[in-house]
Structure 1
Amino acid sequence: MSAHSPDPFAISARGPLRGTVTVPGDKSISHRSLMFAGLAVGESRIEGLLEGEDVLATAAAMRAMGAQIERGTDGIWTVAGVGVGALLQPQTALEMGNSGTSTRLLMGLIASHPITATFTGDASLSKRPMGRVIDPLSAMGAEFTSSPGGRLPLTMRGLCPAVPIDYTLPVASAQVKSAVLLAGLNTPGITRVIEPVPTRDHSERMLRGFGADLTVEESAQGRIIAIRGEAELSPQQIAVPGDPSSAAFWMVAASIVPGSDIVIANVGMNPTRTGLITALKMMGADIVEQDARTVGGEPVADLRVRHAPLSAIEVPPHLAPTMIDEYPVLFVAAAFAQGRSVARGAEELRVKESDRIAAMVAALAPNGVRLEEFEDGLAITGSGGDPMPGGAPIVSNLDHRIAMSMAVAGLGARDAVTIDDVSPVATSYPGFFPTLDRLTDRQP
């Protein structure tokens, strides 16, 4: 692992955001497109792939296990897969950087293959617990040797043939669901995941698109996703829509900065990912969907967002799985709303790239935001649209979403806020800061 050099960034109030922005490709879909294409027999083509560090870690790992992955000069990626069951033994450790998605989903892939793999990651990823994936994969026959607390570095040995299981998710997690389904791809028989609370369904949509025998049915226990193992996947042409989690920062920025009027093009509108739009509209945000369409099986639209006064709400807890990555920037929106907003039911935030509840408390409170911390969320008393006092330093905790959320908050700060390190933003949105400058007419 290379040494890390912090990249500080200071920001204070700027003028309105104007123009059109195209956000990077959806991170969840980008990860899965590389993995599933790497398991198909034949050549897949992927357009719009997010080229952030997290997704590139997935590409490197799939290459290490035999897939041929190349980026063309036209920006289109081609993947020649090895076939389900034919992953090769990696010759070195799989370096995951900051990517929890890469780690958990690849653990699922490897669990039903006769190979041994070691996962390593950066300081932030190495703090994140992997037990919630280790438990079901162990039940399928994989063996694990991990650092204390089920953390990285971690070595696992897959079992082939693995044992199909019926697994009820103890927490709402698309990553755990996907890991079990991916292990089921090469497991004889039918592997089932019971999901009491629906989570993002990109894995189900894409696996069916690649030809897997996968069914989804509703039951009294929740959604039952069943996959028949020893699958044969066929290569696909994939167009990755814009990432709604990346679009979230511009939605909030335009909502809180007076005079703003922007269009965010080609945003994925999968209903398992649109919780933030629902919450912002409840607060009074002016967000209009334009040119709704379907691309590669995923709903897509352009979003026009104009500044509007926001009012406090109690965020419905059932929205949490559909906006779990967007809570930090929702907290920023609440900081500029009129009244006291309450967002609970999001205890999952405690085990993301950082403890995002604690991190946002430590970032917002010293900059003049009144709030109350709960185990599963925050209550925030907003400014009613007035500037945030600002002036205090911010620790990003190597978390890209904390860094970008507080950059958005800085757009409404009277005195500059200084984020200690924005380099982690490259994991998901390498062009974020140049885009921020362009939308606020700060071209170098």
Structure 2
Amino acid sequence: MPINKAKSLKGEIKVPGDKSISHRGVMFGAISEDITELTGFLDGADCRSTIGCFKAMGIDITQEHDHVVIHGKGLHGLSEPQQVLDVGNSGTTTRLISGILAGQPFVSTLNGDESIQKRPMGRIITPLTQMGAYIRSLKNNNCAPLEVGGVPLAPLRYDSPVASAQVKSCVLLAGLYADGITSVTEPVVSRNHTELMLSGFGANIKSEGLTATVVGGPKLVGQKIEVPGDISSAAFFIVAGLICPNADLLIKNVNTNPTRAGIIKVAQDMGGNIELLNERVVSGEPVADIHVTTSELHGCEISGDIIPTLIDELPVIAVMAACASGTTVIKDASELKVKESDRIATVTENLTNMGCDITPTEDGMIISGGMPLKGTLIKTYLDHRIAMAFAIAGLVADGETTFDNEDCCCISYPDFFKTLNNLTNQ
């Protein structure tokens, strides 16, 4: 779908359900007793991979659009799968489910697409091995395919070298199967959906400072969970509302968990007109409606502790920086290199092709904003966030912006282009 320069952007939207919470709802429901019901579930490719993995282990799961019902079998109720567990393109599925599989009495094999087979899994292999787990990279390259499970686990106090909710969650989930207390200490606090949701299911889990702790052997009980909108999906429209002319957008029912909402602070620091309305708590998570209007933006530095709270939003933040006056410096974000694509390289390549002055660095990028962008062919590298970020760039670019593959948006936002089209045709 080609994108052309927008004359205005007005309307009220709801974005798809939070991907992190949707994944966890299925996983925790599967290892809980009784029924877990999710409303607002993200019906995207990644979350369907999670459902498929647990169905393959004997869990009865029914889905009708964004409504999912999981008939849990308790902490020890999973059955040995008769085939390779297909995680698709989902790093969350791969890393979190490894923690659960490490505590099973059977051995499972995990594998996914070409992209997932390049993403670093040594960061979970190390702590799980320290817990006594059997986990092996079948190609001996610390990547998928992985073989996991079959031996008892011991509790662990783990100092993680990276601030990663996926690593933290993997270890805490393995800790459910260990006899004793398992803890993870991070250099910076990462998103805390696992801690919040596991507590709701009945786990003895707590967070204090940089450390999250869980006690093994809990009885988890199914829950009813209302999944709020994903701020990572809302981010594209937050930026669109700030950079497009004559823009006035209301994005309803968005998860504003402070461990995820760094983009709101950055937008405000850059001079963006952004406000949170109707703030409330839904299923343990802070939620609000986000109102944005056209703004005169200026550059800033984005670094340090805020990076884990907006790591997935940095591609579209880079687009925002390209439209702002002055220089924006993004630092401490080397994690961008090991996402669905090397996002330092892919953002740099595409913004350069659109006429932006951008310099990649070892752990981020330097963007001199304010120059007019021009439409071009966007190379997505099958990365959903790259495709959507540059669709937003296309709204302010001269000429036509096209994509080598826009279907990758289905990973997290199947109706993205439809939503965008509706807003630009009010």
TM-score band by shorter chain is over 0.9
Q: 2:183 aligns with which of 187, 192, 197?
A: 192
2:102–2:135 CA contact under 8 A, matched in 1: no
Q: Give TM-score, length-normalised by structure 1.
A: 0.94
1:407 equivalent in structure 2: 391
How many angstroms does 1:186 deviate by?
Answer: 1.4
State the SS of the aligned residue for 1:117. strand
State the SS of the aligned residue for 2:88. coil
Distance in 2, matches of 1:188 and 1:101, equals 25
How many angstroms does 1:389 deviate by?
Answer: 2.2
Distance in 1, matches of 2:401 and 2:36, equals 45
Distance in 2, matches of 1:30 and 1:121, equals 19
Q: Map of 1:20-169 to 2, 5 A cutoff?
A: 20-72=12-64, 75-146=66-137, 147-159=139-151, 161-169=152-160
Q: Map of 1:297-308 to 2, 5 A cutoff?
A: 297-308=284-295
Q: Map of 1:236-385 to 2, 5 A cutoff?
A: 236-383=223-370
Letter in 1 for 2:403: I
State the SS of the aligned residue for 1:371. strand
- Aligned structure 1 segments of 4 or more residues deviating by more than 3 angstroms: none
How many angstroms does 1:76 deviate by?
Answer: 2.2
2:35–2:70 CA contact under 8 A, matched in 1: yes
Q: Which deviates more, 180-189 or 135-144? A: 135-144
How many angstroms does 1:149 deviate by?
Answer: 2.0
Distance in 2, matches of 1:141 and 1:413, equals 54
For residues 231-282 of structure 1, give each alpha carbon's deviation from its aligned partner in whole angstroms, at most 9, with x where no partner exists: 1101101000100000000000111101010100000010101101100110
2:374 equivalent in structure 1: 389
State the SS of the aligned residue for 2:319. helix
2:205 equivalent in structure 1: 214
1:267–1:300 CA contact under 8 A, matched in 2: yes
Distance in 1, matches of 2:172 and 2:150, equals 15
State the SS of the aligned residue for 1:119. strand
Letter in 2 for 1:396: T
State the SS of the aligned residue for 2:12. strand
Distance in 2, matches of 1:275 and 1:158, equals 40
Distance in 1, matches of 2:214 and 2:334, equals 29
Identity of aligned residues (%): 46
For residues 168-209 of structure 1, give each alpha carbon's deviation from its aligned partner in whole angstroms, at most 9, with x where no partner exists: 110110000000000011111111111221010000000000
2:425 is equivalent to residue 438 of structure 1 = no
Letter in 1 for 2:44: G
How many angstroms does 1:20 deviate by?
Answer: 0.6
Letter in 2 for 1:207: L
CA gap 1:158/1:261 in 2 versus in 1, 3 angstroms: farther
1:6 equivalent in structure 2: none
How many angstroms does 1:313 deviate by?
Answer: 0.7
2:238–2:292 CA contact under 8 A, matched in 1: yes
For residues 300-339 of structure 1, give each alpha carbon's deviation from its aligned partner in whole angstroms, at most 9, with x where no partner exists: 0001110111111111422101000000000000000001
Distance in 2, matches of 1:439 and 1:317, equals 35
2:355–2:372 CA contact under 8 A, matched in 1: no
Distance in 2, matches of 1:93 and 1:247, equals 34
Distance in 2, matches of 1:228 and 1:60, equals 28
How many angstroms does 1:84 deviate by?
Answer: 0.5
Distance in 2, matches of 1:389 and 1:89, equals 53
State the SS of the aligned residue for 1:361. helix
State the SS of the aligned residue for 1:414. coil
2:226 is equivalent to residue 234 of structure 1 = no
Letter in 1 for 2:158: Y
How many angstroms does 1:66 deviate by?
Answer: 2.0
Letter in 2 for 1:292: E
Q: 1:426 aligns with which of 403, 410, 422?
A: 410
1:311–1:339 CA contact under 8 A, matched in 2: yes
2:7 equivalent in structure 1: 15
Distance in 1, matches of 2:115 and 2:392, equals 22
> How many aligned positions are there?
425
Letter in 1 for 2:267: L
Distance in 2, matches of 1:284 and 1:216, equals 33
How many angstroms does 1:10 deviate by?
Answer: 2.6
Q: Give TM-score, length-normalised by structure 2.
A: 0.98
Distance in 1, matches of 2:213 and 2:128, equals 16
Letter in 2 for 1:264: I
Q: Mind listing any 5+ residue stretches in structure 1 that lack a counterpart?
A: 1-8
Letter in 2 for 1:340: T
CA RMSD of aligned residues (A): 1.2
Letter in 1 for 2:124: V
